Structure 1
Amino acid sequence: MTDNNNSGQWKTLDKDLNRISQFEYASQYVARPMVGMGVALAFIVIAALASAVLFGQTPISFVVVSAAAFGAYMAINIGANDVANNMGPAVGANALTMGGAIVIAALFETAGALLAGGDVVSTISKGIIDPAGFAETRVFIWAMMAALISSALWVNLATWVGAPVSTTHSVVGGVMGAGIAAAGFVAVNWPTMGKIAASWVISPVLGGLIAAGFLAFIKARIVYQEDKIAAAKRWVPVLIGIMAAAFGAYLSIKGLKRIVKIDLPTALFIGVVIGAIAYAVAAPLVARQAEGLENRTKSLKTLFAIPLIFSAALLSFAHGANDVANAVGPLAAIVHAEQFGDFAAKVTIPMWVMVIGAFGISFGLVLFGPKLIRMVGSQITKLNPIRAYCVALSAAITVIVASWLGLPVSSTHIAVGGVFGVGFYREWHMEKRQRLSSANRPAEKRVAPEERRRRKLVRRSHFMTIVAAWVITVPAAAVMSAVIFFLLNAIVG
C-alpha cells in the first residue's frame, strides 16, 4: 500500500515537474528577444562610458557620450540589417549553417573595420552638404547627431519589418535632412544627390543583370552539357579565377585605402594577377574534387560550395572596411568638433571610435542578424550554391563597374538585386522551357496561361516591400532627421 502511495506521489511529482519545465521553456522562448535587447543595451551603455574615459577631456563632454551611444546603436543596426546581404545567399544555399555564417561574418566584419577601415572618412557622407553653410559649431554638432539618430531609427524600423535597406542611403538621407533644417536647401550638393538617386536604380539592376548573366553562362556551359563533370573541370576554375580577380580588385579599391591609395587601373591589374594565381591553384583542386562525382546537376553544387564560403567571407571583410564609416562617420565629426571647436569635411577617426563601430556591427549581427539572413537567403527565391555564387560574384563586379562610372553604390542594393536577378532569370528560363515543351504536348496536357502565371519563382510580396523601402529610405531618414534636429535645437540649443 505504501509502495502504491509512493508511486502515485512520484507520478504526481513528475507531472508537476513537467509542467514547470514546460513553463520554463515557454518563459525562455518569450524572453529570448529580451536577452538580445538587454545585451545590445549593455553594449550601448559600455560604449558611452568608454567614450567618457577615452575622449580624454575634462569636464566630460556629454555631447560625445550621447553621440557614442547613438553610434553604437547605429552600428548594431548595421550588423542586424546590412550583413544579411553577404551571408544570406550562402546560408540559403546550405553552404553555411546559420551559426557558421554568423561566426565568419563577425570575424571578417570586425577585421575589415579595424584593419582596413579608412582612417580619414568623409564625415558628411560623400560631400552631400557643405560644412561652410553652418553658422556655428554647435549647429553642426546637432545636425550630425540628428543624422546619426534618424538613420539608426530608420534601419531599426526596416529590420523590424524585414526589409534589407541601404545603411549608406539612410546616413545620406539623415545628413541631408539635418543639413536642410540647419542651413537651408543651398547647403545640399544636389549633383551628388542626383548621382545617389541614380544609384537606386543602377545598383540593383546592374547587380541583377550580372548575376543572371553568370547563371545563364553556367547553365549553358556546364549544367546542360552531356558530360557535366568534364565541363565543370574546365569552367569552374575559370569562374573561381574571375571571382578572385573581382575580389582582388574590389578589396584593392575599397579595403586597402587606409594602407595605400590605389587607383582603378592599378586595382584591376592587381585583380588580374590574383585571378591568374587563383585559377592555377583551383584547376588541380577542382579536378581532384570532381573525381568520382556522378554526372548530374546535384554533383555540381558541391564544387561551388567552398568558393561560395570564401566569397561570403571576403564580402564581409570589404563591407566592414567600407561601411563602418556609416556608423562612426557622424560620431567622428562630433568628436572632432568638440575637441577642436571647429568642423571639417574630413577628419581622422580615433581608434576607440572605430572599435565601437566594428564591435557594434558584430553584436548586431549575432543578436539580430538571423531574421534578415533567412529573408535574403531563402524567402525571396530558392537559392543553391550555383545561384548564390552568381550573386556573390555579381556583388564584387558591380562595385568595380560602379567605381569606374563614379557612382556611389549600395552593397545592399547590389546583393539583393543579384538575388532578384537570379530569381527572375529562373522564371524567364522556366517559362521558355514550358512554352517549348507545351508546343509538343497534346492540348489537354498543356499548362494554362493562368497556371503558368501562378508558378512564380520570386516572391512578389517581398519584392514590393523591399523596393518600397529602398525608394523611401532617403526621404524618410531626411524627414526624421530634420524633426530630430529641430527638437534637439529647441531642447538643448
Structure 2
Amino acid sequence: MDIITSSITSIATSPVVPFDRSSVLWVLIVGIIMAFLLGAGLGANDVSNTFGTSVGSGVVTIVQAYILASIFITLGAVLVGWSVTDTMRKGVVDVTEYYSDPHELMLGQVAILAGTAGWLAITTFCGMPVSTTHAMVGSTLGFSLVLRGTEGVNWSEIYRIIGSWFLSPALSGLISGVLYLFVDIAVLRRNHPFECGLRSLPALYFFVIAFNVLMVTWDGSKLLHFDLIPFWGAALISIAIGSIAALLVQFVLKPRLWRKIQASTAVDFDGVRTSSFKTVELHTTSENSECDSEQDLLNRMRCFFKVLLPNMERIDDAKTIQLFAWIQIFTACFAGFAIGANDVSNAIAPVATLVAVYKDQNARQEAEVPIYVLLFGVLAICFGLWTLGYRIIGTVGSRVSHINPASGFTIEFGAAMTTLIASKMGLPISTTQCLIGSVVVVGSLTKGGEGVQWVVFRNIVITWISTLPAAG
C-alpha cells in the first residue's frame, strides 16, 4: 500500500514532461486519418438519412441533395459548431490533469477515435441503431478514467450531457407534435387544404429562417466576431432576414409551386388514398354537435381531444401532400445545418485537441477552434456523403411512401430545431435521438399506438443506454 501511495505521489509531483513534436507527429497523423474515416461514416449515414425522404419523393435528385447538404453542413459547422467542439474537447475531461504531460492527452484523443469507430463498426455489423455522439462521449470518459480515474472527469458536465440525451427526444417530440397539430388544424382538415397550405408558406419560412439567423448571430462564433452583436441587434437582423424570405416566398415561390402542382398529375403517396386532385370534405359537424350536447366534464374533455387530435381515418388531399413534399426540401436543408452544427463538431473534437496540443506544445487549449479544423470535418462528412451516401439515400427513399410528407415535414423540423438549440447551448446531443422522439410523438398522433413500432423503439433505447459504457 505504501508503495502504491508513493508511486502516485511521485507521479503527481513529477516535473512537466518536455514536449517533443517529432515524437508525437505520428499521433497527429493517425488521429487525422481516423477522424476523417469517422466523419465519412457520419456523412454516409446521418446526412443521407436527412435528405433521403426528399430524394424518395422525387422533389430533388441525388446530386442536388448532395449539393444542398454540403452547403448547409458547412454553414452549420462554421457558424454554430464551434461551441459543441469546445464542450467535447474541454468540457468532458478536466484538461488541467494533463498539463504535466500533454503526450497523454494526445494519445487519449486517438483512443477516443478508435473506441468510437470500433463501437460503430460492431453495432453497424449487428444492424443496431447507434448514436455517434453517445459513443464519442463514452470513449472520452473511458480514456480519462483509465489515465486519471474519477479525478480527471468533469462529472457535472457528464450529468448535463446525459440529461440532455433524455430531454432532447422529448423536446423534439413536443415541438414536432405541436407543429403537426397546427398543420392539421390550419391546413389538412380544412375544406380547401391546398389553398390553406399555400397561404401558410410565408409565415412558415419567416419563422424557420428568423430562428436560424437568431441562433447564428446571438452570442455567435467568436471566430467571425458574431459574439459582439447584442441580443437586440441579433433579433432585428433575424426579423429583417426572415421578412425578406417571407416576401420572396409570397411573390416568387408560391406562384411557381401553384403552377407546378396544378400542372402535374396525381402523385401516388402511400397513405394518400385520393385517386385524383380533389378536395376531401371533412364532416365534423356531428362531432361538434355531440360535444355541445354533453354535460359531463369527462365527456366534454373527451370530445375536446377528439376534435383537437387528427382524424386517423381521414383521407388527405393529394395536392396538399405534394405541397408538403416540396416543403421537405427546406426542412432537409434546415436539418443539414443542424447536423453541421452538432455532428461535425463531435467528429473533429479530438482533432481540434490534437492540433491545439501539437501547435501550442501544451494541454491548455486556450485558443479557439480554427476554422480549418471545422472545414476538415465538413470535408470528411461530405466525402462520405458523395461516395457512399447513395446507398442510404436509396434505402430511405424506397421507404418514403410509408411516411406522409406532411408528418415527415414536422418530424424533420422538430428534430432540426431541437438539435440547433442544443448546439447553441454546447450540448453534444444525438440527431438520431431527436428524430426518433419526433417519430414516436407524431406517429402516435396520426395512427395511435399502431403508428409506432414499439419493439424497435425498445431496442433503440437499449442501444442508447449501452453505448456509453461499451464505447468507453
Range into which the TM-score falls when normalised by the shorter chain: 0.7 to 0.9
Contact 2:87-2:426 at 8 Å conserved across structures: no
Q: Secondary structure at the match of 1:200?
A: helix
Shift in Å at residue 474 of structure 1?
1.9
Q: Which of these residues, 368, 371, 392, is aligned with residue 412 of structure 2?
A: 392
Q: Which of these residues, 234, 240, 257, is aligned with residue 289 of structure 1?
A: 257
Equivalence for 1:448: none
**Letter aligned with residue 385 of structure 2:** L
Q: Which of these residues, 104, 119, 137, is aligned with residue 172 of structure 1?
A: 137
Contact 1:85-1:412 at 8 Å conserved across structures: no
Contact 2:130-2:463 at 8 Å conserved across structures: yes
Q: Secondary structure at the match of 1:83?
A: helix
Contact 2:168-2:429 at 8 Å conserved across structures: yes
Q: Which of these residues, 79, 89, 93, is aligned with residue 129 of structure 1?
A: 93
1:255-334 alignment, distance < 5 Å: 256=221, 258-259=223-224, 260-261=226-227, 267-284=234-251, 285-286=253-254, 289-290=257-258, 293=262, 294-296=277-279, 297-334=317-354
Question: How far, CA to CA, are the matches of 1:337 and 1:253 in structure 2?
Answer: 30
Contact 1:380-1:459 at 8 Å conserved across structures: no
1:27-38 alignment, distance < 5 Å: none
Contact 1:180-1:187 at 8 Å conserved across structures: yes
Equivalence for 1:468: 462
Q: Deviations over 1:321-354 (max 9, x none)?
A: 4432322221221233234331024444456544
Question: How far, CA to CA, are the matches of 1:140 and 1:288 in structure 2?
Answer: 56
1:453-464 alignment, distance < 5 Å: 456-464=450-458
- CA-based RMSD: 3.4
Equivalence for 1:96: 60
Question: How far, CA to CA, are the matches of 2:278 and 2:24 in structure 1?
Answer: 69
Contact 1:89-1:377 at 8 Å conserved across structures: yes
**Letter aligned with residue 184 of structure 1:** G
Equivalence for 1:185: 150
Instruction: Provide TM-score, normalisation by structure 2.
Output: 0.72
Q: Deviations over 1:440-490 (max 9, x none)?
A: xxxxxxxxxxxxx7xx33334432333222222222221xxxxxxxxxxxx
User: Against the structure 1 CA distance between its residues 331 and 82, is the aligned structure 2 distance closer, same or farther, given a 3 Å change threshold?
Assistant: same
Q: Deviations over 1:376-416 (max 9, x none)?
A: 66659932332222123213432465478885533332233
Give ranges in structure 2 of 5+ residues lacking alignment: 1-20, 263-276, 280-316
Q: Secondary structure at the match of 1:395?
A: helix
| Structure 2 residue 173 is matched with structure 1 residue 216 | no
Equivalence for 2:437: 417
Q: Which of these residues, 56, 63, 73, is aligned with residue 109 of structure 1?
A: 73
Q: Deviations over 1:10-42 (max 9, x none)?
A: xxxxxxxxxxxxxxxxxxxxxxxxxxxxxxxxx
1:477-488 alignment, distance < 5 Å: 477-478=471-472
Give ranges in structure 1 of 5+ residues lacking alignment: 1-56, 429-452, 479-493
Shift in Å at residue 361 of structure 1?
0.8
Equivalence for 1:11: none
Shift in Å at residue 69 of structure 1?
1.5
**Letter aligned with residue 466 of structure 2:** I
**Letter aligned with residue 245 of structure 2:** A
Shift in Å at residue 308 of structure 1?
2.1
Q: Which of these residues, 403, 421, 435, is aligned with residue 383 of structure 1?
A: 403
Determine what percentage of the aligned residue pairs are the same residue: 31
Equivalence for 1:362: 382
Contact 1:255-1:322 at 8 Å conserved across structures: no
Question: How far, CA to CA, are the matches of 1:264 and 1:162 in structure 2?
Answer: 45
User: Against the structure 1 CA distance between its residues 104 and 302, is the aligned structure 2 distance closer, same or farther, given a 3 Å change threshold?
Assistant: same
Question: How far, CA to CA, are the matches of 1:232 and 1:212 in structure 2?
Answer: 18
Contact 2:346-2:428 at 8 Å conserved across structures: no
Question: How far, CA to CA, are the matches of 2:407 and 2:219 in structure 1?
Answer: 25
Instruction: Provide TM-score, normalisation by structure 1.
Output: 0.70
User: Against the structure 1 CA distance between its residues 119 and 60, is the aligned structure 2 distance closer, same or farther, given a 3 Å change threshold?
Assistant: same
Shift in Å at residue 145 of structure 1?
1.5
Question: How far, CA to CA, are the matches of 2:221 and 2:67 in structure 1?
Answer: 23
Question: How far, CA to CA, are the matches of 1:380 and 1:197 in structure 2?
Answer: 32
